[in-house]
Structure 1
Amino acid sequence: MALRTYASVLLRQSAPEGVDWRTMPVLARALLLTRASVLPLTIVGAGQGLLYAWWRGTISDTATGVSGLLLGLAAFLGANLAHAANNLANDWRDYKDGLDRPGYPRADYSPHPIASGAMSSRTLLTAIAILTGLGALLGGFTMVMRADLMLGLFAVAGLILSWGYTDPPLRLKRRGLGELSVLLVWGPLMGGGTYLAATGTIDSTALLATLPWGMIATAVLFGKHLDKIEADGSRGVRTFVVRIGEQRARAGTLALLSGGYICVALFGALGIFPWIVAPLAGFGALSARAALKIVAAPRPAAPPPGYPLWPLWHVGAAFLAGRPAMGALFVGLILGTLLGI
């Protein structure tokens, strides 16, 4: 029963069918409320920097003997804590702004921390502060041990873009800049930051290597905004997807996903990634065809029987379409390191 519960929370962002989420274990409820099902975006985004450094053989200890691997892992964990905190912060801000209420997709597809009655606004802010503080401690640890202000710049830039996604004065989502911020955060800032923490150096190739996953993470956000296009448009939330319209946004989502796969394969062929990544990306793209077809088509008027995420539709398809690319990157970098290719 416990395994079924956690699998449903992490893979479907919902309680198992027929189970009231309020009766789940505390940890399962916490994972559900923080939307831990989307953390694989950060696991790959931050993890690829560490794996890339491992493959290139550039992980290095500090001058005082602090392990580069330890610092890379600290940056990786800090990024995931920051993502969880940011999910909760976005929920708090959108609830305060009157968006996340019944009838708005976020409050309908999965329990909202406040709207569902799971916690008060004060408790939510406390949870955000704790997660943010832990992430900041890990980031500060890597910066101090490396004695490198560049790490601080990466962290601050990521924090500004992540919190500015919904919060004033930036409100990037409402200005049509949220998608660009995700490309930057889940691409060069996250992967490059972890690489820098593990190696003490950064170069243009290491930053370029983060582009494919940044594109795929952005495609997932496109899918999410596609599912909310009517709700956002009617409430004055002018995301980039709202601004360009539903048909162009579907084409853009497909282009980002396709571009991500093409870049992964191309980088493998060019030696930026291990060559084995290229065929893995090809096989991954073939396995993603069904999900890509869903991305390319309009959303149905009603969900199929048993579908758990309605009214979300395109975001789930985009996430599933990007999952084989995740496997190609991780497996390819691990095999490339272990086999020396």
Structure 2
Amino acid sequence: MWIQALRVIPRISREEWQRLDIISRWLISTRAAVLIMTFTSAGIAGLLAAHAGKFDLLRWFLLTIGLIFAHATNNLLNDYTDYARGVDANNYFRTQYGPQPLEQGLMTKREHLTYAAVTGLIALAAGAYLVAVNGPLALGLLLIGAFFVLFYTYPLKYVGLGELAVLLVWGPLMIGGGYYVITGQWDWNVALAGLVYALGPTTVIFGKHIDKRAEDAAKGIRTLPVILGETASRYVVLAMMALEYLGVIALVLMGYFSPVMLVVLGALYWLRPALTVYRRPRPSEPPREEPARSAWPLYFVAASFYQSRAYGLFFMLGLILQLIVR
């Protein structure tokens, strides 16, 4: 179950849940499959620090733990907030693609908040050490991160700022800030490189919000896809996917990245099916093709996730090759 929960968000019954160990329950509750995007951000920050000759293993390890557990805390608080506001009631989108422990009665409020508190304290402990060794700027970065953890679900997601928050968090904050706490130096080129990578996770959240646009609109949750409409939102995602690759090419031409970073173009193989999905409106019924049928009601988000995951892995491969060539 650990491996399965890290690969996908598994659908399980109450009986199956009761037989699970505490780690499996935590992985499922935090939607651990999407934490790979956060690990990739931490990995990119570490590789860029190594490229600058300033990698510190302890700082990178604590950065990685802090970011992953902060993301997990956000997911737990997201479910708690939506449950408390009644958003996830009546077979809402969230309960269709994976367990919502509170809404489905798998956990009590107290148990859920305990998970969130312990997870958040682990993230805070890692962050506190990095603040202690880096000073005021690291404290500022930690406070900004805490703001997004606590307020992404409400009110940011409700007023069309959730997607922008993801772009800033997974890019300049995680990668630019991560580079800073590892090396002790801020670098705008690193922040720009982080912004290019963050387009991938942003397409994932955009895809998810397009998938549940009708449900969100009915509940007064004004995500960007609700504001822009489905067609415009699909073209925004297509533009971001193109910019993921164009951004790497631009950084190579600027001289910040070595030409070996063009290995990221290998991820274009996974881009093609995503483009096919986004060029058409969302179907009203589950598609016939696999894996889209099995993932339903996840449709656009599933296409974004597979593309983003491949892109992130090729991005890291390029950074590793840079180190080898140097």
Q: TM-score range by the shorter chain?
A: over 0.9
Shift of 1:285: 1.6
Give the aligned partner of residue 281 of structure 1: 264
Q: Is the Cα–Cα contact under 8 Å of residues 209 and 272 in structure 1 kept in the other structure?
A: no
Q: Is the Cα–Cα contact under 8 Å of residues 37 and 309 in structure 2 kept in the other structure?
A: no
Matches within 5 A, 1:1-341: 5-15=1-11, 20-59=16-55, 68-146=56-134, 148-167=135-154, 171-278=155-262, 280-304=263-287, 307-340=293-326
Shift of 1:15: 4.5
Identity of aligned residues (%): 34
Q: Matches of 1:173 and 1:15 in 2, distance apart? A: 25
Q: Matches of 1:133 and 1:26 in 2, distance apart? A: 17
RMSD: 1.9
Q: Matches of 1:184 and 1:76 in 2, distance apart? A: 17
Shift of 1:269: 3.8
Q: Is the Cα–Cα contact under 8 Å of residues 39 and 84 in structure 1 kept in the other structure?
A: yes
> What SS does the aligned partner of 2:285 have?
coil
Q: Matches of 1:264 and 1:16 in 2, distance apart? A: 40
TM-score normalised by L of structure 1: 0.89
Q: Matches of 2:304 and 2:18 in 1, distance apart? A: 29
Q: Is the Cα–Cα contact under 8 Å of residues 13 and 110 in structure 1 kept in the other structure?
A: yes
Shift of 1:21: 5.0
Letter matched to residue 289 of structure 1? R
Q: C-alpha deviations, 1:235-255, integer Å up to 9, x for none?
A: 111111100000001111111
> What SS does the aligned partner of 1:209 have?
helix
Shift of 1:102: 3.5
> What SS does the aligned partner of 1:272 have?
coil
State which drifts further: 182-191 or 252-261. 252-261
Q: C-alpha deviations, 1:41-81, integer Å up to 9, x for none?
A: 1111222111111122133xxxxxxxx32112211210000
> What SS does the aligned partner of 2:158 have?
coil
**Cα pair distance change 1:34/1:135, threshold 3 Å:** same
Shift of 1:89: 0.3
Q: Is the Cα–Cα contact under 8 Å of residues 165 and 181 in structure 1 kept in the other structure?
A: yes
Shift of 1:301: 2.0
> What SS does the aligned partner of 2:244 have?
helix
Shift of 1:87: 0.2
> What SS does the aligned partner of 1:288 have?
helix
Q: C-alpha deviations, 1:279-329, integer Å up to 9, x for none?
A: x12221233211221123222222246733321211010111212211221
Letter matched to residue 90 of structure 2? P
Letter matched to residue 142 of structure 2? A
Shift of 1:173: 0.7
Letter matched to residue 236 of structure 1? G
Q: Matches of 2:74 and 2:254 in 1, distance apart? A: 36
Q: Matches of 1:232 and 1:91 in 2, distance apart? A: 15
Which consecutive residues of structure 2, in runs of 5 or more, have no partner in the other structure? none
Q: Is the Cα–Cα contact under 8 Å of residues 52 and 195 in structure 1 kept in the other structure?
A: yes
> What SS does the aligned partner of 2:44 have?
helix
Higher helix share: 2
Q: Matches of 1:293 and 1:20 in 2, distance apart? A: 36
